[in-house]
């Protein structure tokens, strides 16, 4: 014990000293970060209130200006607001403006980098922003933020740093003492054996093993503890990883022993179509394909999908496989062939006339037929057989994608009990009352609970699923760990917000923004300086295209100056043309575009340019880079990757994103203009704001959104799932070893 204390006490004192020395540095860094954030926040506030403030100044009513400032300062961090028309004028301000700030002394806050003001209430941040107008060319706006919260967070940070170092000292000390004790006893036992002559006759280590059998369990447990600590450390460092294809490969090699990953989806990433005498390769317009295709390039696995192209049969080998991408093969597609009856019942019937409208709650009545359900079961079983045949080991990593395969996880589990099955549900999950409509709700939920991990885009959808399980199945739901135990198997329900590859492929952004602007306007017969909006969607009733057109019509009604000066190009990829509801929706979209163009197309270009045709990713990115705004008006969406693709395309840091509040992306991109697509007036106001937003405000918003998309990219999405799968496999191995030892 004395030897242990001699080591532990100096170690804890040294780490305490390091923590004490590091705390001021952390304090300064935290303060600098908050000051920079408040500078950005002040710029956004100034840009937002400039127009309404100018209107009140023109009216000359100081009482209304004071009320306006009082409403603004209700923000818990905005302390005071002031306005100076000139350096010699009197400041118009809220009551809380500090006496030290006046119009004559504003140069101090603009020239120096020190924006902090000490007051009796605590530190304040002062920002001065130019707000010139014809009547007052030298006018400036003063924004004062309360920084008392910084002091509180700084104290918390110091405590956390100190506790972290103390905890680290305790763990290191514990492990070191245990190892020292084992080493000391082992050395003494070895010396005794040597004195008895045993060490001269036995192989190295034999004496130690025979004399210390009681330490074998301790040594094994200690080794496992160290491995767990190493893995947990890698997991904690996840936020510091630069997520790239190489990062994914490293995870597969290090955590999953380099095993191939099997992906199962209905839609294939490459479709071979016959065009006369030649075969054309298409990449379908699908958020699922957009997200998963870069991952498969990184993982070099196998993608199992329905072969739907007219030339798909012609390019596969005798095992129904084809290597893709065609120009640089990185993985293989295994195509599953479906009959016309199977496709009609499983895909068009149950999946897209039943489950799709059921989950999207887009005011389209779901249709359920027993014949469609029978085909859905049969096709899911066919894909399960394909997965079992493709598996090279008894425990592959299988990524099951989307609502077409709700039964597949449990079917795979029946054939491969040790597989790690990660199912990702790409569309919303409704509340239990809505899901109760489905006649086969119990079977769908039970099928999904065959998954090891079940992923959704948002925590809201996770909550809905767990509530649905709790309502309809006899299962044990643990809401603390968000796991469901059903039929002796446990399923982890997790939030994995999907994203896109970052950085975008070079071929997508190799054409400059200026060239894209000129080229797209020439293709659509638009003048060079014509304002341009863009929408890119499948021709689906959940995407809110009709609501989008109503907003454009309302914009032109309220702001007729844009007639002939603004056009909105709607790229609409045809989809599910065999379903009557989609045929009716396409007719509605075409009719509305024609009506609006007939109403406002008196002179100049039409307000709506509708292109119902497939576009390759390179063409879509050219439209994104050429547009002044992008409008995503989904009525209900899991994530919507179009919003993130638009942000990815704008390396010039210009352009405005208008985003429906009913998308998962709206929770990640608050710098977009968030709207209710059902509110035509609100959407029209967002369009007007987008068309008149200053370049500086566009840059501030786009820079923040690009930073988020870069950090939370599709490789991070896949990496988090694979890390969770690796942790689950590691725990399974430890339990197996423990059970074997006990028996």
Residue 692 and residue 547 share a domain: yes
Average pLDDT over residues 685-697: 97
Flag whether 241 is in a domain: yes
**Buried b or exposed e, range 153-168, using 16+ CB within 10 angstroms:** ebeeebeebbeebeee
Give the number of domains in the chain. 3
Residue 696 and residue 547 share a domain: yes
Residue 111 and residue 58 share a domain: yes
What backbone torsions phi and psi does residue 491 show, to the nearest 5 degrees? Answer: -115, 125
Flag whether 356 is in a domain: no
Q: Would strands 331-336 and 302-306 be described as parallel, antiparallel, or unpaired?
A: parallel
Residue 8 and residue 36 share a domain: yes
Separation of CA 564 from chain center: 38
Predicted pLDDT at 56: 80
Nearest to 463 by CA among 440, 485, 430, 491: 430
Flag whether 274 is in a domain: no
Q: Would strands 608-612 and 566-573 be described as parallel, antiparallel, or unpaired?
A: parallel
Predicted confidence band of residue 198 (pLDDT cuts 50, 70, 90): very low
Q: In a 10 Å sphere around its CB, with 0-12 CB exposed, 13-18 middle and 19+ buried, how is residue 148 labelled?
A: middle
Q: How many CB atoms lie within 10 A of CB 585?
A: 21
Distance (Å, whole) CA 589 – CA 581 = 12
For residue range 584-610, list pLDDT tens digits in order: 999 999 999 999 999 998 778 999 999
Nearest to 642 by CA among 352, 244, 286, 401: 286
Flag whether 502 is in a domain: no
Distance (Å, whole) CA 65 – CA 70 = 9
Residue 692 and residue 726 share a domain: no
Residue 127 and residue 55 share a domain: yes
Is the predicted pLDDT of residue 709 greater than 50, yes or no?
yes
Tell me which range, 176-190, 326-340, 676-690, is most confidently predicted by mean pLDDT. 676-690
**Element (DSSP H or E) covering residue 29:** helix 2-59
The last residue of one of the domains, among 152, 176, 206, is 152
Flag whether 291 is in a domain: no
Contacts 24+ apart (CB under 8 A), 314-322: 314/272, 314/274, 314/279, 315/272, 315/279, 322/270, 322/272
Average pLDDT, the chain: 85
Flag whether 433 is in a domain: no
Distance (Å, whole) CA 708 – CA 702 = 10
SS3 track for 623-676 = HHHHCCEEEECCCCCCCCCHHHHHHHHCCCCCCEEEEECCCHHHHCCCCCEEEC
Tell me: cis bond preceding 325? Omega within 30 of 0 counts.
Answer: yes
Residue 741 and residue 679 share a domain: no
Contacts of 63 (CB under 8 A, 6+ apart): none
Residue 543 and residue 592 share a domain: yes
* Distance set, CA 708 to CA 124, 302, 533, 704, 728 (Å): 29, 30, 23, 6, 28
Predicted pLDDT at 395: 85
Predicted confidence band of residue 687 (pLDDT cuts 50, 70, 90): very high
Residue 737 and residue 706 share a domain: no
Residue 654 and residue 518 share a domain: yes
Flag whether 270 is in a domain: no
For residue range 156-173, list pLDDT tens digits in order: 777 777 777 777 777 777
| Tokens 């009513």 found at | 61
Distance (Å, whole) CA 697 – CA 690 = 10
The domain that contains 127 carries what CATH number? 3.30.450.20
Flag whether 367 is in a domain: no
Which domain range does residue 130 map to?
2-152
Distance (Å, whole) CA 506 – CA 517 = 18
Residue 11 and residue 69 share a domain: yes
Predicted confidence band of residue 139 (pLDDT cuts 50, 70, 90): confident
Separation of CA 2 from chain center: 53
The domain that contains 667 carries what CATH number? 3.40.50.2000
For residue range 506-529, list pLDDT tens digits in order: 999 999 999 999 999 999 999 999
Residue 718 and residue 703 share a domain: no
Predicted pLDDT at 373: 97
**DSSP character string of 669-710:** -TTSEEE-TT-HHHHHHHHHHHHH--HHHHHHHHHHHHHHHH
């Amino acid at each position: 014990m004395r030897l242990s204390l001699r080591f532990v006490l100096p170690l804890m004192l040294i780490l305490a000293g390091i923590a004490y020395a590091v705390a001021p540095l952390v304090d300064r860094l935290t303060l600098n970060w908050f000051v920079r954030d408040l500078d950005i926040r002040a710029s956004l506030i100034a840009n937002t209130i400039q127009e309404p403030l100018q209107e009140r100044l023109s009216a000359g009513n100081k009482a209304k200006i004071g009320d306006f400032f009082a409403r603004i300062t209700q923000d818990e961090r905005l302390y005071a607001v002031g306005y100076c028309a000139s350096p010699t004028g009197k400041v118009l301000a809220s009551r809380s403006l500090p006496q030290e700030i006046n119009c004559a002394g504003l140069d101090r806050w603009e020239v120096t980098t020190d924006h902090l003001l000490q007051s009796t209430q605590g530190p304040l941040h002062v920002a001065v922003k130019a707000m010139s107008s014809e009547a007052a060319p030298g006018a400036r706006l003063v924004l004062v933020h309360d920084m008392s919260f910084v002091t509180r967070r700084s104290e918390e940070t110091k405590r956390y740093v100190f506790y972290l170092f103390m905890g680290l000292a305790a763990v290191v000390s514990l492990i070191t003492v245990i190892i020292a004790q084992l080493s000391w006893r082992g050395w003494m036992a070895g010396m005794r054996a040597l004195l008895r002559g045993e060490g001269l006759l036995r192989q190295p280590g034999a004496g130690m093993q025979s004399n210390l059998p009681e330490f074998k369990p301790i040594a094994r447990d200690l080794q496992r503890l160290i491995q767990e600590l190493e893995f947990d450390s890698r997991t904690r460092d996840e936020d510091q990883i630069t997520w790239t294809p190489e990062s994914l490969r490293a995870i597969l090699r290090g955590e999953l022993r380099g095993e191939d990953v099997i992906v199962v989806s209905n839609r294939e990433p490459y479709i071979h179509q016959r065009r006369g005498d030649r075969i054309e390769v298409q990449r379908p317009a699908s958020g699922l394909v957009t997200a998963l295709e870069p991952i498969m390039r990184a993982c070099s696995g196998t993608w199992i999908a329905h072969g739907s192209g007219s030339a798909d049969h012609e390019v596969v080998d005798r095992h129904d496989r084809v290597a893709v991408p065609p120009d640089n093969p990185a993985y293989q597609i295994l195509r599953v062939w479906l009959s016309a009856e199977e496709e009609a019942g499983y895909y068009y019937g149950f999946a897209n006339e039943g489950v799709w409208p059921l989950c999207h709650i887009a005011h389209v009545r779901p249709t359920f037929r027993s014949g469609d359900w029978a085909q859905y079961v049969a096709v899911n079983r066919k894909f399960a057989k394909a997965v079992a045949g493709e598996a090279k080991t008894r425990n592959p990593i299988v990524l099951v994608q989307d609502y077409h395969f709700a039964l597949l996880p449990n079917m795979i589990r029946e054939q491969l009990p040790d597989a790690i099955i990660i199912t990702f549900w790409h569309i919303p999950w409704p509340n239990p009352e809505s899901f109760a409509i489905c006649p086969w709700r119990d079977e769908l939920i039970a099928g999904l609970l065959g998954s090891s991990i079940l992923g959704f885009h948002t925590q809201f959808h996770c909550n809905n699923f767990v509530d649905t399980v709790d309502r309809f199945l006899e299962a044990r739901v643990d809401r603390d760990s968000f796991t469901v135990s059903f039929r002796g198997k446990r399923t982890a329900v997790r939030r994995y917000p999907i994203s896109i590859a970052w950085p975008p492929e070079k071929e997508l952004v190799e054409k400059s923004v200026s060239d894209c602007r000129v080229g797209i306007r020439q293709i659509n017969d638009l003048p060079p300086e014509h304002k341009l909006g863009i929408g890119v969607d499948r021709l689906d009733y959940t995407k809110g295209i009709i609501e989008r057109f109503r907003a454009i019509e309302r914009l032109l009604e309220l702001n007729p100056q844009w007639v002939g000066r603004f056009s909105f190009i709607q790229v609409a990829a045809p989809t599910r043309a065999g379903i009557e509801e989609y045929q009716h929706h396409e007719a509605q979209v075409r009719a509305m575009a024609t009506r609006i163009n007939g109403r406002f197309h008196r002179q100049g270009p039409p307000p709506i340019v509708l292109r119902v045709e497939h576009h390759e990713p390179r063409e879509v990115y050219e439209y994104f880079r050429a547009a002044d705004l992008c409008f995503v008006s989904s009525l209900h969406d899991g994530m919507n990757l179009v919003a993130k693709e638009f942000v990815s395309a704008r390396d010039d840091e210009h352009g405005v994103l208008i985003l429906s509040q009913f998308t998962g992306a709206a929770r990640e991109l608050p710098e977009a203009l968030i709207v209710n697509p059902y509110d035509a007036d609100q959407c029209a106001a967002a369009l007007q704001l987008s068309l008149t937003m200053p370049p500086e405000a566009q840059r501030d918003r786009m820079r923040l959104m690009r930073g988020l998309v870069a950090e939370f990219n599709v490789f991070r999405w896949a990496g988090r799932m694979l890390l969770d799968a690796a942790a689950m496999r590691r725990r399974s191995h430890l339990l197996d070893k423990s059970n074997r030892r006990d028996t």
